[in-house]
Structure 1
């Protein structure tokens, strides 16, 4: 990653996504991926700096839990990281528990990979070799993995 300039405050640009997702039967939804973490502030900082996410919500001592939600403005998903005040919930990710972000621009992909490492993510070999061909896998301090896939992806339209 030498020589690659990165702006840790830049938001990862993804193809236009509606604020809600719509299923074939018309159900509207928004996707939240929730994960326990060992250090809430560290997770917030790493994911904001590495992926350019922003804090979209947070809570303190809600039934014994603290949390922060991170997302992209207008996005149809967000990540929630939580910590339980009454008992430790140890993160238990496997090598196949992945968040995958498709980044169409090669320059943006290089910049974002550099930002991930600068934010404290560790570049690791992917367990599934598919992600090695056009992507790079990173692991956070709790062992959760994020793949930055160089390229575009769209859902196939129903026939």
Structure 2
């Protein structure tokens, strides 16, 4: 039995800026890209060795709102200190400043950043589970 793959998909008005944030800022790879597929442009980012990826789309002629709340989070668990530190430093070098989490739990062992659409990403220095 094969393992399921998780795709998180969300719209954006800033496809290139969001792609840069997740690739150059977070170190993800571009896994796929498409232009004008039935009125949508998109990019899929992630890591080839992981069973998940994130798809960002822009529908031609449609404007989407920014993140509705500060609790719309993507949490990445990075238990190895060197990997966590490198991820934090890469985002900061990309020009992104950490912001305080709405839920103080995430500030205890992590750092929170906002992507260009206002969605928050927590780099959690802990193992899941």
TM-score, reference length from structure 2: 0.91
Structure 1 residue 32 corresponds to structure 2 residue 20? no
SS of 1:46's partner is helix
- Aligned-partner Cα distance in 1 for 2:110–2:40: 35
TM-score, reference length from structure 1: 0.75
Structure 1 residue 129 corresponds to structure 2 residue 104? yes
4+ residue runs over 6 A deviation: none
**What value does the CA root-mean-square deviation take over the aligned residues?**
1.6
Gaps of 5+ in 2: none
CA contact (8 A) 1:120 1:140 kept: no
- Aligned-partner Cα distance in 1 for 2:124–2:61: 38
User: Greater CA radius of gyration, 1 or 2?
Assistant: 1
Q: CA deviation at 1:113?
A: 0.4
- Aligned-partner Cα distance in 1 for 2:77–2:34: 29
Q: CA deviation at 1:119?
A: 2.4
- Aligned-partner Cα distance in 2 for 1:42–1:35: 14
Partner of 1:55: 30
How many correspondences in the alignment? 129
CA contact (8 A) 2:14 2:116 kept: no
